[in-house]
Structure 1
Amino acid sequence: MRRCFSYDGLRGALRRAFVLALVVAAALVAGRFGLWPAAGLLALAVAAYALSFPRHVAPLHYAAGPAVIGPDWLGILWSALFFALPLWAGAEAERLNPSAWLLWPMAAAGLIFLAIGWWSESFGLTPGAEGIELRRGFARIELPWGAIAAVQPWSRDLPRWMRALAPLLAGAHPTAAGAIMLARPRRGLALELEGHRRLVIETDALRPGPEALLQVLARREEIG
């Protein structure tokens, strides 16, 4: 197995940081100068996000809407709102509102959804004659067929704190983001590798579907 740095993951992280900064600025401008200047900044953020959205070339990737765009904008708007609220409340008093100690940690919690969108966007799996190339996060992994000892179903329940958010987020579709919204377990396949290592590929919102991933992984048996 060969692992190297993925610049796609770095570009995705910087892109989200830039868009989040624009939306936070829009929220702050709305509290001080009104909605119209804030709407201009928000439109700029949407345009920057849309125009820089990457085109996936990997045969297997996650669906853009439910796995990437939905979590991204939930995290962006969540973080911007809870960051700006105490500043709005303290604008007339010209001092920081005490609610900041409660609301700013909630704003930081929104970054979790941004991380989910980033992780899903960075994912791409390309099968080859000698193995698979997997991109996710900041890593690009070249995995030969011989390094995969077994393939097993995988699932993991959600943390209790995330389950507590489910009533607030009900109504989403049961996809990668929907698994969080509906508080159901995440599902996927676990690749058991040499040296007792494991590589998990989640199949919620995977395109063209879990069956395509199984067909790809079946090649290791044909070659073996």
Structure 2
Amino acid sequence: MFNNTPLSTTSVATLSYLQQNVKKAWSQWIQDQRQAKLIFLGAGFLVSVPVFIQAPLVRVLPALSLILTLFWVSLGVILLKRPKTEIWGDLILGFSWSWLAGSIYWGWYRAEPLIHLPIEAIGLPFALWGLRKGYLKIGNLFYLGSLLGTAVTDIYFYLTGLIGHWQQVMQVEPALVTPILQSAIAIVQTPWGVSWAVVLANFLLAIGLWSLQQKQAYWWGFSGAVLSTILVDSLFWVATSLI
């Protein structure tokens, strides 16, 4: 026989409390997922910015590109102070390290591949210190993801012997670049070049996908930077192949 005794006031209150908490937890989970996806997309966009905006600017006006670092830092600080835009401020402050390093290297040292990675790593001590202290996790992990992608790309250039082509492209007139790029593509298309491209791309892919499995949203910024490196490099080689 079922007990038809009405629920007590305490039972109703408990049930209502549980329902509210479940609803609140579900709403928070949806919000966290949405935030993580936005951070991922934002990180991917910021990895692409230097390619399409900074690269042409820094060749013509390197000093302006360097000064614009102050703009990114200021924008990041302003956004960081507002609860609704805090995550974007965090992300942009991490991006400012990449912009600073890119301005310095591509503005004045672009024909020196040996110092490319050391200059790109200019913000590494600060990023590691920030993560240790729990500061700006989104921006610091974005910067580390971007730096990792840069390091892997440089490793590919060394392994395939493309460093010489790098130096030549940076030293000759634009009209003479095409033959050098065609020679580089020929190297990339060899079994050695293809094999290393596959190995390193899969390495970045594995790290990027692992980061997406983490619950914390800041790991999605790291993943966005890493996976976008694969996309940007692929687009670069496709564009070069069409020359």
TM-score normalized with structure 2 length? 0.31
Flag the structure with higher strand content. 1
Flag the structure with higher helix content. 2
TM-score normalized with structure 1 length? 0.33
